[in-house]
A and B are shown apart, each in its own frame.
Chain A
Amino acid sequence: MTAAPHDAAGELFELANRGRSRSRHVRDGGEAVVKVVLAGCAGFSVLITALIIGILAYEAVRFFMDVSVVEFLTGTEWSPLLGEEKRFGVWPLVAGTLLVTLVAAIFALPTGLVTAVFLSEYAPSWLRAILKPVLEILAGIPTVVYGFFALLIINPSLQWIAKVVTGEELFGAYSAGAAGIAVGIMILPIVTSLSEDALRSVPRGLRDGAYALGSTRFDTSVRVVIPGALGGIMASYLLAITRAIGETMIVALAAGGLAQLTVLPWRQVQTMTAYMVQIFLGDAPATGVEFKSSFAVAALLFLMTLLLTLAGYRILARFREEYE
């Protein structure tokens, strides 16, 4: 009678043990399968990169069998669709891309940084509650909408301003400037949110130290917080510029379609992405050298954005080490 409880406990222990060992076994088997499936999904992203590089390299090589690499990289004339002699010097497209990006950068980089400083150092909470959603909405607006805005609102406004100021009809129906400003509005939220994150990650102690020494908020922001967050700010700039270079719909609508080497923002330019749009919308037969040229342009674009992204993350990684 006295032995019974003891026995029951032993039995229970054995039961629990048996159940446990069996389920462990099954669980470990399932665990391995799950792990392989998950790792396979992660491998998929590597496969995507490999495919992008493979396809662009293959098509670019096929293009360079028809057109010399030297002509492509050094030529200053791009006329694959017009004229008797087709010329494939990529510089006008690169210059067009850089001009639009430059206008966007001049507009967005200082504006974005000042807005970020304002949000992180100055703004009262009620103002933040208005500004943050505004920036989120701006970040969520599709780029084709910005293209519409650039073509139908910004460009006519610039036309009018230029007419009033200089008395001349500087702006045509399309302009690098209008596209650039629209791209600038598009990348503004990127600069602002990433820079603000960087500013906020500057330890509070540094600010308190500056205030204790009698600094105003301006002194603290400009001499302590901004230098302290410089890495993050630079990274946000680089990532924003990457987005600007790869932007397609705005420039396809508002920058024009004439590939020319110019630094004047009231001229129309063709960017690398806008050229690709022109080709893929069916302006060229799918087998001709013009069609292949779009892959070479895409390869160059991919290379440019890849280098910028890598540089951005390099800076960000180095900057993270500082405070952690």
Chain B
Amino acid sequence: MNDETPQNLAMLVDRGEPRSQSRRRAFDRGFLVTCLAITAIAVLALGVLLGSILIEGLPGLRWSFFTEYASRDASKAGIRAPLWGSIWVASICAIVALPIGIATAVWLEEFAPKNRITAFIRLNISNLAGVPSIVYGILGLTLFVRMFGLFGPIQAPELEIGGRLYAIYYDTMQEPIRVPAEERGVAPVLKTGDVGFVQEIEEGADGELIFTDRWTPVTLTIVPEDEDAPEGYGIIEAWQAEEPADFETERPWYYIQFPLGQSVLAGGLTLMLVVLPIVIISSQEALRAVPGSLRTGSLAMGATKWQTTRKVTLPAAVPMIMTGSILAMSRAIGEAAPILVLGVALFITDTPSSLMDSFTVLPMQIYNWTSRWQEDFRALAATGIIVLLMVLLAFNAVAVLIRQKLQRPLS
């Protein structure tokens, strides 16, 4: 009886497992080979991708590629504007998204009561992480670029803060003259002896004219309409003095208008929407990784919840929060879809110098170059991709460094 039990067991196992031991071993071996082959696909894909981009793009990687603006001539085109645009937009995005995201994570992990509202907020954040980025673009377009149309059209904003408004006239030299104005659409009454400003012009290295940001004051002379009005700086014919040719706002970097329009601020805020759920989720994970004993220790010493968070929990979680935040920012730098929806101009020949300046970003420029048919532009796109990947690589290197330098075992 006892002798037969193993046999019974073997039969039982056999019934469930008709294949012989050696066949199962063969299966195992075969599966390992399949695994290796399939896993190699990922490595192969990455290799081919990087290889083809390097082959296409490396020849175009010259210093001038970084210093030149967009051009219809592929050999002269560069990525100066999108590079600076990306830097501005990513900085704004980081300044806004990181505090809000980390604060949300702190509240959820350290303060939130366990109730339905908290559960709903958690679910809501998971959902936000799954929303396609192009949908955030639509939100950014309505919320930031147009501001629901509450402040009038983008071109003639109803609310401007921090700018200086000028009316533009042309003198008999056909040079634009700026005259301070009180209100958009209301012409200042010009009289002889008033002061206007002419733009300083410099001669570039190749003899081309460069319009500087400096303006020199000039005393205006208003002369009656006359066929042979004297030519000279600041001499304006009466009919030209009646209505300014245009209005212009001088923009210090803190100048803000409502609606925000297709400005770097609107772009940065839109990207903030995209990365906010990522920042929240990674910060939550970082806080969760802090051992509970540290918190209870601090609370037992009489510290309040906020003191515990500020002095104990947050410092312990900072390396992981920083790593997560850097990865979130590299996501922001690579996003093209939400920026595209905002309707930013593709042909930018200036770097942003104020929050309200127009901009483009690296992925948008790469998209634009790739979607053209000419070979030259596609090579440019590959070079642009190399620059973009180098930026992301630098970000990731910093993240890895932080992880290694700052992370100490906590328990």
Contact = CB atoms under 8 A, between A and B. Distances in A.
A260 interface: no
A45 B32 CA distance: 45
Given A49-B127, A140-B327, A246-B131, A111 B25 contact: no
Contacts, number: 247
Contacts of B130: 239, 242-243, 246, 305-306, 308-309, 312
Given A142-B335, A298-B135, A35 B103 contact: no
Given A134-B43, A143-B334, A148-B381, A52 B131 contact: yes
A140 B330 contact: yes
A41 interface: yes
B195 to A, nearest CB: 41
B139 A55 contact: yes
B108 interface: yes
B286 interface: no
A46 B363 contact: no
Nearest to B51: A153
A239 B45 CA distance: 22
B216 interface: no
A217 B35 CA distance: 12
A142 B361 CA distance: 13
B366 A145 contact: yes
B367 interface: yes
Interface string A138-150: 1011111111110
B41 A45 contact: no
Given A34-B306, A134-B42, A137-B46, A143 B336 contact: yes
Interface string A245-257: 1111100110000
B276 A142 contact: no
A45 B107 contact: no
B156 interface: no
Contact of A27 (B42, B307, B327): B307
A286 to B, nearest CB: 8
A39 B136 CA distance: 23
Nearest to A173: B373
A281 B337 CA distance: 11
Interface in A32-65: 34-35, 37-39, 41-46, 48-49, 51-52, 55-56
A144 B138 contact: no
A68 to B, nearest CB: 23
A313 B126 contact: yes
Contacts of B111: 35, 38-39
A216 interface: yes
A122 B41 contact: no
Interface in B263-286: 273, 276-277, 280
B35 to A, nearest CB: 4
A140 B138 contact: no
B377 to A, nearest CB: 11
The B contact surface, by secondary structure, is helix
B239 interface: no
A185 B43 CA distance: 11
B366 A144 contact: yes
Given A38-B107, A52-B135, A249 B363 contact: yes
A41 B103 contact: yes
A122 B306 contact: no
A248 B133 contact: yes
A249 B337 contact: yes
A23 B35 CA distance: 63
Given A46-B124, A55-B139, A114 B367 contact: no
Nearest to A220: B28
Interface string B81-112: 00000000000000000011101101110011
A253 B367 contact: yes
A28 interface: yes
Nearest to B102: A41
A277 interface: yes
Interface residues of B, number: 87
A276 interface: yes
Q: Which of A34, A145, A149 has the most CB of B within 10 A?
A: A145
A252 B341 CA distance: 13
Interface string A97-114: 000000000000011001
Contacts of A158: none
B132 A277 contact: no
B343 A280 contact: yes
Contact of A48 (B49, B139, B306, B330): B139
B132 A301 contact: yes
A198 to B, nearest CB: 16
Contacts of B333: 142
A44 B45 contact: no
B104 A45 contact: yes
A13 interface: no
A49 B136 CA distance: 10
Interface in B1-58: 13, 21, 24-25, 27-28, 31-32, 34-36, 38-39, 41-43, 45-46, 48-49, 52-53, 56
B142 interface: yes
B132 A27 contact: no
A49 B123 CA distance: 11
A216 B370 contact: no
Interface of B: 13, 21, 24-25, 27-28, 31-32, 34-36, 38-39, 41-43, 45-46, 48-49, 52-53, 56, 99-101, 103-104, 106-108, 111-112, 120-121, 123-139, 141-143, 273, 276-277, 280, 304-307, 327, 330-331, 333-337, 340-341, 343, 363, 366-367, 370-371, 378, 381-382, 385, 388-389, 392, 396
Leading 3 A-B pairs by shortest Cβ distance = A246-B132, A142-B334, A309-B130
Given A45-B277, A141-B334, 14 more contacts: A28-B304, A38-B107, A45-B276, A52-B131, A55-B139, A115-B42, A138-B45, A152-B370, A213-B13, A214-B13, A246-B130, A246-B134, A249-B367, A305-B130
6 contacts: A31-B306, A41-B101, A42-B104, A134-B42, A142-B388, A309-B130
